[in-house]
Structures are given as C-alpha cells and as structure tokens.
Amino acid sequence: MADSNDNAEQTATFASFELREELNEGIKAAGFKRPSMIQEQVIPLILQGRDVIGQAHTGTGKTAAFGLPAMHRMSLDKGIEMLVICPTRELANQVSDEIYRLGRFVGVRTVAAYGGQSIVQQAKRINHNSHVLSATPGRLLDLLKNKWLKDFSPSVVVLDEADEMLDMGFLDDIKEIFGFLPEKRQNLLFSATMPGPIQRLAQAFLHDPVSFKSISEQDTNQDIEQQYCVIEERERQEAVVRLIEDRAPEKAILFCRTRNEVDSLDSSLSARGYNSRALHGDMEQPQRTHVMNGFREGRISILVATDVASRGLDVQGVSHVFNYHMPFDTKGYIHRIGRTGRAGQKGTAITLVTPREFHQLQRIQRSIGNAIENRLIPSRRELRVTRIARLCEDIKTKDVTPEAVRMVQSLEEAEDLAAIAYKMATFILNQNSETGPEKIGITGDHLQRIINMTSHPRRGGNMRRRGNQGRYPRNSDRRGSPRGRPPQNNRRRRPS
C-alpha cells in the first residue's frame, strides 16, 4: 500500500480540485470554506480513480472527502453509482443527507436502507432513479440475496466506519456483500482505527490502495477540553445535574452504560424541567429518528444515550459531552467525546469517576497521551455566584419591551427605581434557586491520594505508598477489566 504524506502544509482550496460548478455551488451552500486535511489529501486521489484507505475520526469531513469526487465522476444515468456501507441506521441516514446536500445542484438522488423499515419501499426507492445508496450491512445483504435490486452495479464502493462494523460483528456480511458487487469498481475504506481484521479486509478487496492517516490510533481532538470529576457512587446523579446547572450547555449528550440507566436519568432530568430525551438501541426506529431530528434541530437540548449515539453520528453544535459512567475502553472514550469539538468548534468532555474506577481513567489517559484535567464540582454557593453573573450578562443583552416599561411605570407609583430593581432581582433569584447538597464530590487529601494512585500495582512494589493499600479495586479483575464486560470475541451483533 502506498502512503500519502499527511504532514504537508494545507494549501488547497475547493476551487483547486476543479470539481463540477454545480458541486461548488453545493459546497458554498453548505458553508464549507477550506478543505479539511483528509479532504485535501483524499479528493485528488479519488478523482484519479485510486482505491483509498483513509484513517480519521468522525467529524473530519470524511463524507465530503469521498462524496464530492465520486459525484464529480458520476454520469447520473446508470442507477446506483455509489454504495456507502455504514454500521448504523443513524450513520446511513446522515451520509445520505450529507451527499444530497452537497450534490443537490447536480441532481444527485440519494436513498438510505436499513432494518426496521419496509424493505419493499426501500427497494422501490433504490431502483427508481437513485444514484447513491447508503445502507447497513444486514439490510443490504437481504436486498442482494433476495434479488430486490435491479441492475445493481455501483462503480464506487465505500466502507465507512469500518472498525465499528468489525466491532458489531458485520465483517462476514461485508465479505459476502463484496461477492455481489462488480469486479471493476473503485474501493474506499474509512476507519478511525485499523485493527488486523480491517487491514486483512483491505488487502483482500482493495487494489493497490493509497493509505492516508491523519490521526494516531489513540489520538483525540485537540479542540476538546477533557476533564474528570471524582465522586462517590451515591453522588452520580446529583453530580451530573450540578454540572449541567453550572455549565448551562445549549446542546449536550450524557452517555450511560445501560438502557435502564438512560431511561432513569432522562426521567429525572425531565422532572427537574430540563429539555431532555432518551436514545438507546431498544427504541423503535421511528422513535430514534424523531429524537435525533429534534436534537439536531435544537428542539431537544440534552440527549441521554447509550453508546449507540456515539457511533459515527455528526450533530453540529454539541458543546458538552458528559460520561455519566466510564466507558469500557479507550476506543469507547474516543468515540464518545468525539461528539463534541467538531468541524473546528470547541467542546468540553467531562467524565464522572469513582475511586474504584480511577485506575480505568488512568489507563485511558495513558493510552490517548492527552491530559484529562481534574475539576471540582462547584458547591451550591459557587453555583449561585456563577448563575448571578450569567443572569447579569443576560440582562445586559435584553431588549426592553413595551410591557416591561408599563410594568415598571406602574410600580414607580409606590417604589423608587432602585427598590424595584432589588425586588425584581430577588424575585428572579428565588425562581431559580440551586438544588442538591452544598458540596458534591471528593476533595482535599482524599482526592490527592486517589490521583496519586497507580492503575496497576506491581508485585513487590510499595502498595501503601501508592495509595491503594496493596489491594486491587473490588470491581475489577487483576488486569483492570471491569466486571460485566462482554468478551471481545463474543459480542452480540446489533440489529441493522
């Protein structure tokens, strides 16, 4: 495999690719200014007809990187010309929408196919003058094996988020799908990581590919500020509520481990007046689509989700990610926090961790090579100071309405303006009183002992000096793996 140089200074513009003028219109309408690193490196290679392996995290512009050059080369008279295989329903929809958005002035028609919807209706849309198909492996294989697709001969085949498809048990399906595809085709593979099975898949099905790598396997986005708070287990829910009250995120995702935990936390947040919704794999597809559309459009401000929401979803404007529980591994951590800090925007990821989970956090921090900074959860008094300052800034930006003028004028008959202002401020502050205990989380010497603790006490070392009294945490085995984690080679395949 040839390697492209990912250290070259970025000099390209979208105009320098000499794409169709209609595609340049789509690029401009989408608000793209300059190509991202992966777009600058990959677009010329795809325009040349080369097979490509692109290694980059989500949010780096991969869809445009393969979609723009593929659409430039389309004749738009041969049915499906580009097939994009995606691990999840949400990503299939997202890819379809993005390709349509960029190619609408060209006249490109896109369709997404996945389980949970009528296969008959999906087949009709695919066969009726569509040019781009994005599909999950299970549904695509059903369509192919049962001969629902007519004259199906895509010239460009894209494997998007290949490592996620490996994790979800779709690798055998992918290999079977390739048996239905034309031998003469351009193959593009995109993945955040490149484990052995994905490398072997590339060797088997890609022809002399050019490999482009814009990240290290355990790299994280430098636009994401990573923080952690040490808490007791019983404080978990009060802690995340306090953090939401303090940060006041416009759009945030809270990641939990289980469906029951998601439903419970969502109910608690909704009862406190937050505009939150739950998202997990046990929901019906129409429900999931409704929730995701509401979150994307800003009608939902807090998404409480299992890891199903971290797999390749691209939602703009997510300012905060909260890990209600630690993810099981480094890869899960990277995927979760990658929902914020996208497209050059800044983001914050905050992880709640108990003393027994701390070895897990240290292991992730060593693996990614980036600092995860400790932060204390604000006390109720500190939260009130923050909220008063935020309220003052909000008041400065408000326009005066006629009703407000009449209200103050009527009050002036009995009070002077200063007294009116003081009473109004008191009224507003009482309407937004802080909740929960005065202090949440572990602080002081206790916190310092936990921070100094090592993840893996070595045999013969001074255990007491390292702060864990020579014992392994009770919720882990001697290798630091949390109880309840499924064996890596026995994961249950998710429905497509």
Measured distance CA(74)–CA(47) in Å, rounded = 11
Q: Helices marked H in 147-195 — which ranges? A: 162-167, 171-178
State the average pLDDT over residues 246-256.
94
> H-helix or E-strand containing 292?
helix 285-296
Work out the pLDDT band at 186, boundaries 50, 70, 90.
very high
101: pLDDT strictly greater than 80: yes
| C-alpha distance from residue 14 to each of 40, 270, 321 (Å) | 8, 44, 32
Q: Sort residue 31 into left (φ over 0), alpha (ψ -120 to 50) or beta.
A: left
Measured distance CA(471)–CA(461) in Å, rounded = 12
Residue 393 three-state SS? helix
- Mean pLDDT check: name the lowest of 13-27, 55-69, 113-127: 55-69
pLDDT for 458 equals 41
- Mean pLDDT check: name the lowest of 96-100, 213-217, 307-311, 327-331: 213-217
pLDDT for 219 equals 52
Question: What pTM does this model have?
Answer: 0.62
A 10 A CB-CB count for 216 gives 11
pLDDT for 436 equals 85
pLDDT for 206 equals 96
The domain segmentation of the chain, as residue ranges, is 2-213, 224-377, 380-431
478: pLDDT strictly greater than 70: no
348: pLDDT strictly greater than 90: yes
Same fold flag, 2-213 and 224-377 = yes
Q: What is the DSSP string of 130-152?
A: --EEEE-HHHHHHHHHTT--SS-
Give the closest residue to 70 by CA, choosing from 134, 136, 148, 147.
134
* DSSP secondary structure letter of residue 157: E
State the average pLDDT over residues 327-354.
85
pLDDT for 364 equals 84
Residues ≥6 apart with Cβ < 8 Å to 224: 337, 338, 340, 341, 346, 347, 348, 349
Q: What percent of the chain has pLDDT over 70?
A: 85
- Mean pLDDT check: name the lowest of 37-51, 128-142, 473-487: 473-487
pLDDT for 310 equals 60
Phi (first) and psi of residue 49, to 5 degrees: 90, 10
Q: What is the pLDDT of residues 128-184, one digit of tens each?
A: 989 999 999 999 999 999 999 998 999 999 999 898 898 788 999 999 999 999 999
pLDDT for 176 equals 96
Q: How many CA atoms lie within 13 A of 446 on its CB side?
A: 9
pLDDT for 4 equals 52
- Mean pLDDT check: name the lowest of 58-62, 260-264, 338-342: 58-62
Measured distance CA(417)–CA(408) in Å, rounded = 8
Q: What percent of the chain has pLDDT over 90?
A: 52
Q: How many CA atoms lie within 13 A of 430 on its CB side?
A: 6
What superfamily does domain 224-377 belong to in CATH?
P-loop containing nucleotide triphosphate hydrolases (3.40.50.300)
State the average pLDDT over residues 190-206.
91
State the average pLDDT over residues 246-251.
93
A 10 A CB-CB count for 376 gives 15
77: pLDDT strictly greater than 70: yes
State the average pLDDT over residues 470-483.
36
Fold of the domain built from segment(s) 2-213:
Rossmann fold (3.40.50)
Amino acid at 361: L
Beginning with the edge strand found earlier in the chain, give each strand of the sheet holding 320-323 in spatial order. 276-279, 302-305, 252-255, 320-323, 347-353, 224-230, 373-374
Residues ≥6 apart with Cβ < 8 Å to 472: 457, 478
